[in-house]
Structure 1
């Protein structure tokens, strides 16, 4: 743990504030003490023999709370965190098994996608693995002008949802034609799913209320696939910080677009670049304080390296592809290389390889 000098312009607060970057290899914390001084701490993100969660352990270390003792969360004013929980789940395909409910006839729309060919002359094309586990086609359709083409059959929809639920699926992504503009059928099916007992229901008209079925569907599936993982992590952190919530403290998470949001509104689709986005914001604020306005960011962690650019305003992308998954949500424009400080360079006899 490294003590930093007290900032003269850092105001005192009524409680501790913790600013946390939970990366793939290390978790870094900056603590703002009630007297205005700052202190930093670094520890491994994964060390199950020593602690279940690095962020909570870091807070314990900085507060001087021993293992097994109750965390005095009432002295904490705020915890603000960027995390790679969703990123790692997406990269490793460790999200929640998801059912995709879609207008009949469009069950393979997301698999077909846009028929793009990034490598035009490649003969052996490997399609990315789809995130959803099963597809349920539902008899319904509302036309582009709002006309009822096929009425929704609630009984048959319930039967299909119940059948998937009985097979163990608890996460649902709902995607209907023109649902972004006419969401009535989507909302009816969502209500049926809640009655059955689905614990995560992502509705395209709320997750990504924009035209284009494929990108809207991809984003909705990502949200359904990752949100339960995020929710379990957030619940675990909140459980340790229960006293903070009761005393008016806030738990907030960094979104891919560079903004903070309350833990209860943090969604899977907005969490993909949670950690790297915080690095970009920190880079800009630090450089501006030093008098620089044109920046190239180079953020090397233990697992990957993130490169970004700034010339007076944050650069964001609204449609992007991450780990083979198309996504439509505002994100910082960040280029990631899968090599970091923990990467190993080796020679296999014919060429150099970087890994693992």
Structure 2
């Protein structure tokens, strides 16, 4: 039995998307393990350090990327998000960004953000695999978990909830685990249920 070549093995990703951060663990086809943490908004942040002339800027970023995967991303400053520029090139090794047009006003130390208009897990996979925006991701296996749904449920945000249970368990959420600080209290203070009948 032959062992498959690494070029035929898929990337393996395990990603957890939370309310603030998305954590991504990956194993390359060669067995190399990588990890990255990005904002769950799918936005990357950095600092404009120096205007090099034209539409080029020296930047300061701490992204664990060594190849340019950002061509085609949108670049803007948080204080003026309507003044969007397109990234032509971004060299992460020398930390220089080239835009399609310069910003009208520049002050050293200004923050900037990049967005590819993709969800955070896709951004993380692009950064780890070195896959540019216009190119399909390589073959991969994905395990994706999220606390966003749990948070929305607990905070009672989002769409109305439907509960489907096996016959005989309709009151399972009302009964719960029966854990409470004073087990023998005659006055039981129960939290408001997460659903309505």
Question: Could you state the TM-score of these two structures normalised by the residue count of structure 1?
Answer: 0.26
Higher helix share: 1
- Point out which structure has higher relative CO (alpha carbons under 8 A, 6+ apart): 2
Q: TM-score, normalised by structure 2?
A: 0.43
Structure that is richer in strand per residue: 2
